[in-house]
C-alpha cells in the first residue's frame, strides 16, 4: 500500500500530525471559542458600561464605548455609595456575613459527615427508623392539629424515641448501610426550597428569628449541606486509608485524624466545594425573599428592589451587580489557585 | 511464660470516651440539621398542603381540608394556572402520543419479561410509565398552539429544553477546548464566569440586552424590521428569553465538569484508536463519549435537580408574564403564598417535588445506570 | 516490512530527548529497544507510530518515507503498557474494533475475531468485559487486537511490565512464538534486560537519546561496546575495578593483572562478570577482598565482597556454587577464571580492547 496524495478537502480537515490541528478545524474552533467568549463577556461589559451612563444615555438608545460614544459619569456610583451609603453597605455586609458563615459551617459539618461515611461503617436499623418516622409524625400532629406547645411535643417525642430504641432495637434485624445514608442526605437536594421554606418561615416566626442573620445562615447551611457531603466524600475516598491507620496506631483520636490529616490532604477538594457553595449562597434569592425583609436583606434582594416605582433604574442596578460580581471573582481567583496547586502536587506524586 | 491477668479495669478518661463516641458525633450534626430543616418542614408542609390557611385575629388558623388543594390545581379554579388550558389535539398528534406511549409500554413489557424483575423495579417503572404518559398527553394538549401551558408544562419546558440545550453546547465547547489549542486556560476561566453572577443580575442584564429599541443589538433588530417587536408580550418568545438567560448561567457548570472529564480520559485509549485508523468523529463516538458518560450523567442529574427550582429569572425577567406564560412552579407557589393561599402554595410545592423526584429518579435509574462501566 | 530511522532527533523545547538515531530493522525481525527509563526509547517508538512528531530526520516503513504521514495511514498496531482496552466494549468488540473501522462485514469480522482469540487462548472469554479479566488476559486481548488485522508492523511499549514475574515469563515465551509464527516486524520497548535478551533478534541499547550498541543479544552480552552497555546488561551487574594501564599491565589498589596490547591509560576500568570470578584459597589470586554478604538463590550463591579501592565502598560480586559457605567479614581472595575480561576508558566509557581478554592472557 502506498500513501495516496491528499485531496484538497483532506488537506483542509486532516491535521499534518497529531500535535497540530487541520487548517479548517483550527479556524472553526477558534471562531466558535472566540464567539462564545464574546457571548460570555458582552453582558458583563454592558453592565459595566451602563453603570457609567446617565439615564438619558440609556433611554436615548445604545451607546457602546465610553469616551468615544458617550461621556461616562460616576453619578450612579456616587448615588449608591454616597447618597445611599449605609443602605448599600448593610445588605452588602449582610451578604458577606451570611454567605461566608453559612459556607464555612456547611463545608465543615458536611466534611465531618463525609469523612465519617467514607471511613466508618454505620448500620442504622430499619425498625428504629420506622419508629422515628412514626414518632415524628405524631409530634407534628400534636403540634399542628392538637396545638400543643412545640417545646413540649418535641421533648415528649424525644423521650418516646429514646425509650423505643432501648426497648426494641435488639429485635430489629435489617439494617441500612452507609450508601443509604449518603443517598438520604443527597436526596434532600431534590427537594425544591419552596416546599420547605413555608414551614421554615413559620418556625422562625414562632422563634422570633425572622429577618435575622441567624435564620438565613442556618437555612443556607442546611440547603447546601447535601452538596458538601456529596462532593467531599469523593475527595476523602481518594485519600489512602493507610494514612489514617498509621495515625491511629500512633495514638491520634478520630477527630484529630479528621482535622490534621484528612482536612489538609483534601485541600483542593475543600477549595472547590467551598467555592461552589459560596457562589450558591452568595447568589441565593428565593429563601432570602421569604426569610428577610429589612435588617437581614441580602444583595440579590437589593438588586431586585431597584425595579421600584419609577421603573427599572438600570444604572443603579448595574453598579450593584458589578459590585456583587467583584468579590466572587476575587474569591474564585484565590480559590482557583488552590485547586490547581493541589492537582499539581497530586500529579507529581503519581 | 506468665499469663497476664485481664481483671485490671482501666479508667477511661473523658477524652477517650469522646473518641469512642466520635463515629456518632461526626455524623450527628448533619443528621440533626437535615431532620430539623428538611424532614420536619417537609412533614409540616404536607400538612399545610392538606389544609386551608386563614388569618384570624392574633394569629392564623389551619383547617384540614384533605386533597381539596390538589383538586383545585388539577380540576378546579387553578387548573388553567397549573396544568394549563387544554386545546384541541389533532389526529396526527394523537398518533404521536400513541407512539410515545406504545414505546413506554414496550419498554415496560421488556422489563417484565426479563429475568431480573423485582417488586420495587416494577412499581418504579409503573410510576414512570404513568407519569410520563400523562405528561405526554398534557404536553400535546397545551403546547400545540391551541391551548396555553400552565406552570407545570412551563417548568418542564425549562427543565428539558434547557438542560438538553445546555448539555449540547457545553459538550461542544468542552470538546473544542480539549483540543491542542492555545489559550486553553484563558477560555476555561472566561467560560466559567457566568456561574458566578447572581441570577437576579443575569435577569436584569438580559432585560437590558434584549431591549429591542434601546439595547445594544437594537440596530440589528431594526435592520430585520423587528424594532417594534416586543418579546415580552409574546408568550413563546418570552419563554425562550428566560431559557437563554438560564443557559447563559448554567452552561459553565456543565462545561467545567465535561471538560475535566475529557481531559482526564486515558490518552492511551485514544492513541490506540488513532493507530487503528479511527477518525475524530469515531473517536468521540466510540471512545471519548462512553468514557465521559458516567460523569456526564451525574452532571446532567445535578443540573436536572437544580433546573426544577428555577424562579429568579422568570420572576425578574418577565414577572411570570405575559399572563402566566413564563411562570415556573416555584414562582407559582411563591405567588400563591403572597396571596395568603398557603395551602395552595404548599400543594404546588408538593406537586413540584413529586414531578422532580419522578423525573430525577427515572433518569438516574434508567439512563444514568446505563452509562456505568460494564462488567462491574 | 522493513523499517528505517534516519538521523532521528526529537526535542521538547530546549530539551533534546532523542539525539540522532539511525536504525535499520529487517523484515520480520524482532528488535528490542532497551534502556533505562527516560532514555528516549518510548519517544522513539511513538515516533515510528506517528503519535509523536519528528523534529528532524526521516522514518521509513518499507521504501516509503512516512515521516509526515498520519498514524492511521501507517498500518501499524501498537500494544500499550496500560493495554488501552476500551472498558465499555466486550473482549470480542475490543478485538474487532480495528476491523470495524476498516468496514469489514460482520460475518468476516466475527470469524477473524474468533481466530485471533484462539491464538491467544481467549475464545471462551469473548463476551466478558475488560474489568472482568485478569492482567494476563487483558494483555492477551491487547495482543489479539493488535494482530487481528495483520498490520505491517507491531509496536509494543513495555507490554509485560504490569504483570507479575511468573506470568511475565510465560507471556514472554508466547510472544516470541507468536511473533515468529506471524512473521511481522516488531519493535519492542523495555527496560528489562531479561526480556530484551530472550525476545530479541537484535537489541538496540539506548541511553541519553543515543543508540549505544545495536547487535544480537549474544554479542551485546559477550562483547559490550562501552561501559554503559556492559553495566546495563547482565544480572548481577558486571564488576568494575578502577585502575591504570601501564606498559601492558593493569593495576589497582587491590589487584594487578597483565593486559597485553592495550595502550597506557591513566584512568581505565577493568570489567568482569560475576560468573567469570571464583573465590579461591590460592595466594596468587588477582583481587583481595572481604565478604560483605552472601545470598543463596537456590542453584547458586551470590557473594558480594568489598574491596579496598580508591573509591571507598566498592564491591565485587562473585557467582559461586550453591554449596559455598563462608562467614561475613572473612578475608578472601578472588581469582579471574572466565574467558571474558574487558578494559574500558573511564572517561569516555569506550572499550580499550577489541576482543575480550581470556583469563590466561592476564597472567
CATH at B321: 1.10.3720.10
Burial of B3 (0-12, 13-18, 19+ CB in 10 A): exposed
In order of A138, A204, B82, C105, the CA distances from B42 in angstroms are 14, 15, 21, 59
User: Is C103's Cβ below 8 Å from some Cβ in B?
Assistant: no
* Cell numbers describing residue A82: 454616597
Q: Is the pLDDT of residue B7 over 60?
A: no
Nearest to C50 among A2, A17, A20 (CB): A17
Are B136 and B219 within one domain? no
* Cell numbers describing residue A228: 458538601
Question: By residue range, what is the domain housing residue B130?
Answer: 89-146
Q: Is the pLDDT of residue A195 over 80?
A: yes
pLDDT band at B165 (very low <50, low <70, confident <90, very high): very high
Strands C30-34 vs C185-190: parallel, antiparallel or unpaired: parallel
Residue among B69, B190, B197 with most chain A CBs within 10 A, to mutate: B197
Which span out of A78-82, B150-154, B157-161 was modeled with the highest average pLDDT? Answer: B157-161
Across the interface, whether the CB atoms of B187 and A314 are under 8 A apart is answered: no
In our burial notation (b when 16+ CB lie closer than 10 A, e otherwise), range C220-239 reads bbebbbbbbbbbbbbeeebb
3-state secondary structure of B253: helix
Q: What is the Cα–Cα distance from C330 to C294, expressed in whole angstroms?
A: 11
Q: What is the Cα–Cα distance from A173 to A166, expressed in whole angstroms?
A: 15
Q: Which residue of B has its CA nearest to A307?
A: B316
Q: A306: which chain B residues are within 8 Å (Cβ-Cβ)?
A: 204
Are B326 and B238 within one domain? yes
CB C41 within 8 A of CB C35: yes
Instruction: Note which residues in 168-187 of chain B have CB less than 8 A from chain A.
Output: 172-173, 176-177, 179-181, 187
Strands B59-64 vs B84-85: parallel, antiparallel or unpaired: unpaired
Nearest to B287 among C72, C86, C131 (CB): C86
Q: What is the Cα–Cα distance from B344 to B52, expressed in whole angstroms?
A: 8
Domain finish residue from B146, B171, B186: B146
B50 lies in a domain? Answer: no
Are B339 and B195 within one domain? yes
User: Is A5's Cβ below 8 Å from some Cβ in C?
Assistant: no
Nearest to A46 among B176, B177, B216 (CB): B216
Q: What is the Cα–Cα distance from A176 to B29, expressed in whole angstroms?
A: 19
3-state secondary structure of C154: strand
Across the interface, whether the CB atoms of C66 and A3 are under 8 A apart is answered: yes
Cα A95 from chain centroid? 14
- Residue in A120, A52, A93, A135 with CA at minimum distance from that of residue A297: A93
pLDDT at residue A344, as a whole number: 38
Domain finish residue from B108, B124, B146: B146
What secondary structure letter does DSSP report for B89?
P
User: Is C98's Cβ below 8 Å from some Cβ in B?
Assistant: yes
User: Is B248's Cβ below 8 Å from some Cβ in A?
Assistant: yes
Task: Extract the residue ranges of chain C whose pLDDT is less than 70.
Answer: 282-284, 308-313, 363
B317 lies in a domain? Answer: yes
- Residue in A128, A92, A130, A152 with CA at minimum distance from that of residue A296: A92
B133 lies in a domain? Answer: yes
Question: What's the mean pLDDT when you consider all of chain B?
Answer: 86
User: Is B366's Cβ below 8 Å from some Cβ in A?
Assistant: no
Q: Which residue of B has its CA nearest to A138?
A: B43
pLDDT at residue C8, as a whole number: 92
Mean pLDDT of B70-83: 83
pLDDT at residue C190, as a whole number: 94
Question: Closest approach of chain A CAs to the CA of C51, in angstroms?
Answer: 6
Are B152 and B221 within one domain? yes
Q: Which helix (H) or strand (E) element contains residue C280? A: strand C277-280
CB C138 within 8 A of CB C153: no
Domains of chain A: 87-121+178-306+327-349 (1.10.3720.10), 123-176 (no CATH)
CA quadruple B4, B8, B12, B13: dihedral positive or negative? negative
Nearest to C128 among B279, B373, B375 (CB): B375
List, in sequence order, every residue forming a beta bridge with C335; answer none if it has no partner. C278
Is the domain C239-362 a CATH 2.30.31.70 member? no
B252 lies in a domain? Answer: yes
Q: Domain residues of chain C, as ranges? A: 3-222, 239-362
Across the interface, whether the CB atoms of C86 and B290 are under 8 A apart is answered: yes
Question: What's the mean pLDDT when you consider all of chain A?
Answer: 84
Report the percent of chain B where pLDDT is more than 90. Answer: 30
Q: Which residue of C has its CA nearest to B269?
A: C84
Give the Cα-Cα-Cα angle B154, B159, B162 (nearest 5 degrees). 105
Q: Which residue of C has its CA nearest to A22?
A: C70
pLDDT at residue B173, as a whole number: 95
Q: Is the pLDDT of residue B285 over 80?
A: yes
Are B210 and B114 within one domain? no
Are B153 and B138 within one domain? no
Q: What is the Cα–Cα distance from B271 to B215, expressed in whole angstroms?
A: 49
Q: Is the pLDDT of residue B1 over 80?
A: no
CB C133 within 8 A of CB C125: yes
User: Is A39's Cβ below 8 Å from some Cβ in C?
Assistant: no
What secondary structure letter does DSSP report for B174?
H
Q: What is the Cα–Cα distance from A187 to A129, expressed in whole angstroms?
A: 17
Q: What is the Cα–Cα distance from C203 to C193, expressed in whole angstroms?
A: 10
B366 lies in a domain? Answer: yes
Across the interface, whether the CB atoms of B39 and A136 are under 8 A apart is answered: yes
Q: Is the pLDDT of residue A111 over 60?
A: yes
Mean pLDDT of B72-90: 82
User: Is A18's Cβ below 8 Å from some Cβ in C?
Assistant: yes
Question: Closest approach of chain B CAs to the CA of C343, in angstroms?
Answer: 44
Nearest to C132 among B279, B291, B375 (CB): B375
B241 lies in a domain? Answer: yes
Domain finish residue from B110, B131, B146: B146
Across the interface, whether the CB atoms of A61 and B213 are under 8 A apart is answered: yes
B82 lies in a domain? Answer: no
Chains in contact with C, where contact requires at least 3 CB pairs less than 8 Å apart: A, B
Are B142 and B159 within one domain? no
Question: Among the residues of B36-90, which ranges form H helices?
Answer: 40-49, 68-75, 79-82
- Residue in C297, C290, C247 with CA at minimum distance from that of residue C275: C297
Strands C56-61 vs C64-65: parallel, antiparallel or unpaired: antiparallel
Q: Please list, in sequence order, all residues whose beta carbon lies within 8 angstroms of the beta carbon of residue B170, skipping any fewer than 6 positions away.
A: B251, B252, B253, B254, B255, B258
Are B263 and B153 within one domain? yes
Nearest to B29 among A112, A190, A198 (CB): A112
CB C122 within 8 A of CB C149: no
List, in sequence order, every residue forming a beta bridge with C31; answer none if it has no partner. C187, C202
Question: Closest approach of chain C CAs to the CA of A2, in angstroms?
Answer: 8
Report the percent of chain A where pLDDT is more than 90. Answer: 21
pLDDT band at B375 (very low <50, low <70, confident <90, very high): low
Across the interface, whether the CB atoms of B269 and C86 are under 8 A apart is answered: yes
Q: Please list, in sequence order, all residues whose beta carbon lies within 8 angstroms of the beta carbon of residue B7, skipping any fewer than 6 positions away.
A: none
* A134 torsion bin: left (phi>0), alpha (psi -120 to 50), beta (else): alpha
CB C339 within 8 A of CB C359: yes
Q: Is the pLDDT of residue A32 over 80?
A: yes
pLDDT band at A109 (very low <50, low <70, confident <90, very high): very high
User: Is C224's Cβ below 8 Å from some Cβ in B?
Assistant: no
Q: What is the Cα–Cα distance from A329 to C274, expressed in whole angstroms?
A: 67
Instruction: Note which residues in 68-97 of chain A have CB less than 8 A from chain B.
Output: none
Across the interface, whether the CB atoms of B62 and A328 are under 8 A apart is answered: no
Q: How many Cβ pairs closer than 8 A exist between chain B and C?
A: 74
Q: Which helix (H) or strand (E) element contains residue C168? A: helix C165-182
Q: What is the Cα–Cα distance from C104 to B141, expressed in whole angstroms?
A: 48
N- to C-terminal Cα distance for chain A?
A: 42
Are B227 and B319 within one domain? yes
Are B126 and B228 within one domain? no
Q: Is the pLDDT of residue B4 over 60?
A: no
User: Is B282's Cβ below 8 Å from some Cβ in A?
Assistant: no
Q: C52: which chain A residues are within 8 Å (Cβ-Cβ)?
A: 18-19
Q: Of A297-306, A332-341, B128-137, B200-209, which gets the smallest average pLDDT?
A: A332-341
pLDDT greater at residue A77 or residue A150: A77
**Residue reference for cell 408580550:** B233
Q: Of B19-23, B186-190, C154-158, which gets the smallest average pLDDT?
A: B19-23
pLDDT band at A36 (very low <50, low <70, confident <90, very high): very high
Question: Closest approach of chain A CAs to the CA of C348, in angstroms?
Answer: 34
In our burial notation (b when 16+ CB lie closer than 10 A, e otherwise), range B246-276 reads bbbbbbbbbbbbbbbbbeebbebbbbbbbbb
**The pTM is what?**
0.88
Question: Among the residues of A145-252, which ranges form H helices?
Answer: 150-168, 178-187, 193-207, 213-237, 241-249
N- to C-terminal Cα distance for chain B?
A: 51
Domain count, chain B: 2
Q: How many Cβ pairs closer than 8 A exist between chain A and B?
A: 259
Q: Is the pLDDT of residue B80 over 70?
A: yes
Q: How many CB atoms lie within 10 A of CB C110?
A: 15
Determine the topology of domain C3-222 in CATH: Rossmann fold (3.40.50)
Across the interface, whether the CB atoms of B276 and C87 are under 8 A apart is answered: no
Nearest to C73 among A3, A19, A20 (CB): A3
Mean pLDDT of A69-86: 82
Mean pLDDT of A153-165: 85
What secondary structure letter does DSSP report for C150?
-
pLDDT at residue C312, as a whole number: 57
Q: Please list, in sequence order, all residues whose beta carbon lies within 8 angstroms of the beta carbon of residue A206, skipping any fewer than 6 positions away.
A: A150
Q: C127: which chain B residues are within 8 Å (Cβ-Cβ)?
A: none
pLDDT at residue C326, as a whole number: 85
What secondary structure letter does DSSP report for B284?
I
Q: C53: which chain A residues are within 8 Å (Cβ-Cβ)?
A: 17-20
Q: Of A250-259, B189-198, B211-220, B346-355, which gets the smallest average pLDDT?
A: B211-220
What secondary structure letter does DSSP report for C248?
T
Give the Cα-Cα-Cα angle A256, A262, A267 (nearest 5 degrees). 130
Q: Please list, in sequence order, all residues whose beta carbon lies within 8 angstroms of the beta carbon of residue A205, skipping any fewer than 6 positions away.
A: none
Question: Closest approach of chain B CAs to the CA of C41, in angstroms?
Answer: 17
Q: Of A102-106, B31-35, B72-76, B174-178, which gets the smallest average pLDDT?
A: B72-76
Chains in contact with A, where contact requires at least 3 CB pairs less than 8 Å apart: B, C
Mean pLDDT of B93-116: 90
- Residue in B38, B70, B73, B247 with CA at minimum distance from that of residue A193: B38
Are B135 and B191 within one domain? no
Cα C67 from chain centroid? 26
Across the interface, whether the CB atoms of B349 and A303 are under 8 A apart is answered: no
* Cell numbers describing residue C58: 526521516
Q: Is the pLDDT of residue A1 over 50?
A: no
Are B158 and B101 within one domain? no
Nearest to A317 among B204, B218, B219 (CB): B204
Amino acid at each position: 500500500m502506498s500513501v495516496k496524495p491528499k485531496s484538497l478537502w483532506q488537506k483542509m480537515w486532516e491535521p499534518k500530525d497529531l500535535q497540530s490541528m487541520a487548517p479548517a478545524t483550527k479556524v472553526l474552533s477558534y471562531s466558535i471559542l472566540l464567539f462564545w467568549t464574546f457571548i460570555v463577556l458582552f453582558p458583563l461589559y454592558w453592565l459595566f458600561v451602563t453603570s457609567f451612563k446617565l439615564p438619558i444615555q440609556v433611554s436615548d438608545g445604545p451607546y457602546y464605548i465610553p469616551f468615544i460614544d458617550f461621556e461616562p459619569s460616576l453619578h450612579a456610583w456616587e448615588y449608591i455609595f454616597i447618597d445611599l451609603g449605609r443602605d448599600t453597605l448593610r445588605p452588602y455586609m449582610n451578604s458577606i456575613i451570611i454567605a461566608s458563615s453559612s459556607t464555612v459551617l456547611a463545608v465543615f459539618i458536611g466534611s465531618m459527615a463525609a469523612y465519617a461515611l467514607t471511613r466508618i461503617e454505620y448500620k442504622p436499623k430499619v425498625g428504629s427508623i420506622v419508629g422515628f418516622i412514626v414518632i415524628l409524625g405524631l409530634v407534628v400532629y400534636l403540634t399542628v392539629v392538637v396545638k400543643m406547645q412545640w417545646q413540649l411535643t418535641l421533648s415528649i417525642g424525644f423521650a418516646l424515641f429514646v425509650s423505643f430504641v432501648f426497648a426494641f432495637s435488639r429485635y430489629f434485624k435489617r439494617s441500612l448501610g452507609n450508601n443509604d445514608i449518603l443517598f438520604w442526605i443527597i436526596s434532600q437536594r431534590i427537594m425544591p426550597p419552596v416546599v420547605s421554606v413555608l414551614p421554615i418561615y413559620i418556625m422562625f416566626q414562632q422563634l422570633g428569628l425572622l429577618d435575622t442573620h441567624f435564620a438565613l445562615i442556618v437555612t443556607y447551611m442546611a440547603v447546601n449541606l447535601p452538596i458538601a457531603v456529596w462532593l467531599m466524600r469523593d475527595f476523602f475516598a481518594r485519600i489512602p486509608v493507610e494514612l489514617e491507620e498509621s495515625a491511629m496506631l500512633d495514638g491520634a483520636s478520630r477527630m484529630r485524624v479528621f482535622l490534621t490529616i484528612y482536612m489538609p490532604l483534601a485541600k483542593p477538594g475543600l477549595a472547590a466545594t467551598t467555592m461552589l457553595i459560596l457562589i450558591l449562597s452568595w447568589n441565593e434569592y428565593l429563601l432570602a425573599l421569604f426569610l428577610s425583609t429589612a435588617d437581614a436583606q441580602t444583595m440579590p434582594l437589593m438588586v431586585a428592589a431597584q425595579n421600584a416605582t419609577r421603573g427599572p433604574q438600570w444604572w443603579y442596578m448595574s453598579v450593584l451587580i458589578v459590585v456583587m460580581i467583584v468579590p466572587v471573582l476575587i474569591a474564585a481567583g484565590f480559590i482557583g489557585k488552590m485547586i490547581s496547586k493541589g492537582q499539581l502536587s497530586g500529579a507529581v506524586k503519581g | 511464660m506468665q499469663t497476664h491477668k485481664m481483671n485490671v479495669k482501666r479508667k477511661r478518661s473523658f477524652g477517650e470516651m469522646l473518641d469512642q463516641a466520635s463515629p456518632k458525633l461526626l455524623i450527628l450534626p448533619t443528621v440533626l440539621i437535615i431532620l430539623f430543616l428538611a424532614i420536619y418542614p417537609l412533614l409540616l408542609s404536607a400538612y399545610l398542603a392538606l389544609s386551608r390557611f386563614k388569618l384570624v385575629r392574633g394569629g392564623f388558623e389551619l383547617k384540614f381540608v384533605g386533597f381539596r388543594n390538589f383538586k383545585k390545581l388539577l380540576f378546579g379554579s387553578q387548573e388553567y394556572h397549573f396544568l394549563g388550558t387544554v386545546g384541541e389535539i389533532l389526529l396526527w398528534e394523537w398518533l404521536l402520543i400513541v407512539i410515545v406511549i406504545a414505546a413506554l409500554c414496550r419498554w415496560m413489557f421488556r422489563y417484565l419479561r426479563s429475568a431480573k424483575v423485582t417488586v420495587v423495579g416494577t412499581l418504579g417503572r409503573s410510576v414512570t410509565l404513568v407519569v410520563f404518559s400523562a405528561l405526554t398527553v398534557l404536553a400535546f394538549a397545551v403546547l400545540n398552539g391551541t391551548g396555553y401551558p400552565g406552570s407545570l408544562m412551563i417548568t418542564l419546558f425549562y427543565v428539558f429544553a434547557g438542560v438538553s440545550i445546555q448539555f449540547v453546547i457545553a459538550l461542544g465547547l468542552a470538546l473544542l477546548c480539549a483540543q491542542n489549542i492555545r489559550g486553553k486556560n484563558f477560555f476555561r476561566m472566561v467560560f466559567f464566569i457566568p456561574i458566578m453572577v447572581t441570577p437576579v443580575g443575569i435577569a436584569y442584564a438580559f432585560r437590558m440586552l434584549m431591549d429591542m429599541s434601546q439595547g445594544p443589538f437594537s440596530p440589528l433588530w431594526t435592520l430585520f424590521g423587528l424594532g417594534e417587536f416586543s418579546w415580552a408580550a409574546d408568550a413563546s418568545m418570552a419563554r425562550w428569553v428566560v431559557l437563554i438567560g438560564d443557559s447563559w448561567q448554567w452552561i459553565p457548570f456543565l462545561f467545567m465538569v465535561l471538560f475535566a472529564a475529557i481531559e482526564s480520559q486515558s490518552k492511551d485509549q485514544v492513541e490506540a484508536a488513532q493507530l487503528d485508523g479511527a477518525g475524530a468523529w469515531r473517536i468521540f463516538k466510540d471512545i471519548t463519549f462512553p468514557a465521559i458518560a458516567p460523569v456526564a450523567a451525574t452532571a446532567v442529574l445535578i443540573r436536572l435537580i437544580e433546573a426544577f427550582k428555577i424562579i429568579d429569572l422568570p420572576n425578574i425577567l418577565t414577572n411570570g408574564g405575559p399572563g402566566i406564560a413564563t411562570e415556573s412552579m416555584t414562582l407559582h407557589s411563591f405567588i400563591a403564598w403572597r396571596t395568603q393561599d398557603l395551602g395552595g402554595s404548599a400543594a404546588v410545592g408538593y406537586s413540584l417535588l413529586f414531578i422532580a423526584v419522578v423525573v430525577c429518579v427515572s433518569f438516574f435509574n434508567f439512563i444514568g445506570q446505563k452509562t456505568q462501566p460494564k462488567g462491574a | 516490512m522493513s523499517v528505517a530511522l534516519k538521523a532521528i532527533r526529537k526535542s521538547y523545547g530546549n530539551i533534546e530527548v532523542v539525539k540522532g538515531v539511525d536504525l535499520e530493522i529487517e523484515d520480520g525481525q524482532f528488535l528490542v529497544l532497551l534502556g533505562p527509563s527516560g532514555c528516549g526509547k518510548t519517544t522513539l517508538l511513538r515516533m515510528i507510530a506517528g503519535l509523536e512528531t519528528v523534529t528532524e530526520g526521516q522514518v521509513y516503513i518499507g521504501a516509503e518515507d512516512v515521516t509526515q504521514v498520519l498514524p492511521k495511514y501507517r498500518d501499524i498496531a501498537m500494544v500499550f503498557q496500560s493495554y488501552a482496552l476500551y472498558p465499555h466494549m466486550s473482549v470480542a468488540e475490543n478485538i474487532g474494533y480495528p476491523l470495524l473501522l476498516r468496514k469489514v462485514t460482520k460475518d468476516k469480522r466475527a470469524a477473524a475475531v474468533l481466530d485471533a482469540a484462539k491464538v491467544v487462548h481467549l475464545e471462551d472469554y469473548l463476551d466478558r468485559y475488560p474489568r472482568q479479566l485478569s492482567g494476563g488476559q487483558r494483555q492477551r486481548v491487547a495482543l489479539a487486537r493488535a494482530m487481528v488485522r495483520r498490520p505491517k508492523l507491531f509496536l509494543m511499549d513495555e507490554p509485560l511490565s504490569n504483570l507479575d514475574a511468573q506470568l511475565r515469563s510465560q507471556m514472554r515465551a508466547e510472544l516470541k512464538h507468536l511473533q515468529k509464527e506471524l512473521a511481522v516486524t516488531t519493535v519492542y520497548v523495555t527496560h528489562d534486560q531479561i526480556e530484551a535478551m530472550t525476545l530479541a533478534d537484535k537489541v538496540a541499547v539506548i541511553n541519553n537519546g543515543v543508540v549505544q550498541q545495536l547487535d544480537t543479544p549474544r554479542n551485546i552480552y559477550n562483547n559490550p561496546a562501552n561501559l554503559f552497555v556492559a553495566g546495563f546488561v547482565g544480572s548481577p551487574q558486571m564488576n568494575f575495578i578502577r585502575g591504570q594501564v601501564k606498559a601492558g599491565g593493569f593495576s589497582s589498589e587491590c589487584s594487578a593483572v597483565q593486559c597485553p596490547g592495550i595502550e597506557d591509560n591513566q584512568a581505565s576500568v577493568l570489567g568482569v562478570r560475576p560468573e567469570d570470578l571464583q573465590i579461591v584459597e590460592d595466594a596468587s589470586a588477582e583481587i583481595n577482598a572481604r565478604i560483605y554478604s552472601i545470598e543463596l538463590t537456590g542453584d547458586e550463591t551470590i557473594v558480594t565482597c568489598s574491596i579496598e579501592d580508591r573509591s571507598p565502598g566498592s564491591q565485587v560480586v562473585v557467582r559461586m556454587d550453591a554449596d559455598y559457605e563462608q562467614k561475613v567479614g572473612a578475608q578472601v581472595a578472588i581469582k579471574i577464571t572466565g574467558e571474558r575480561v574487558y578494559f574500558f576508558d573511564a572517561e569516555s566509557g569506550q572499550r580499550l580492547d577489541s576482543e575480550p581478554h581470556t583469563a590466561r592472557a592476564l597472567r
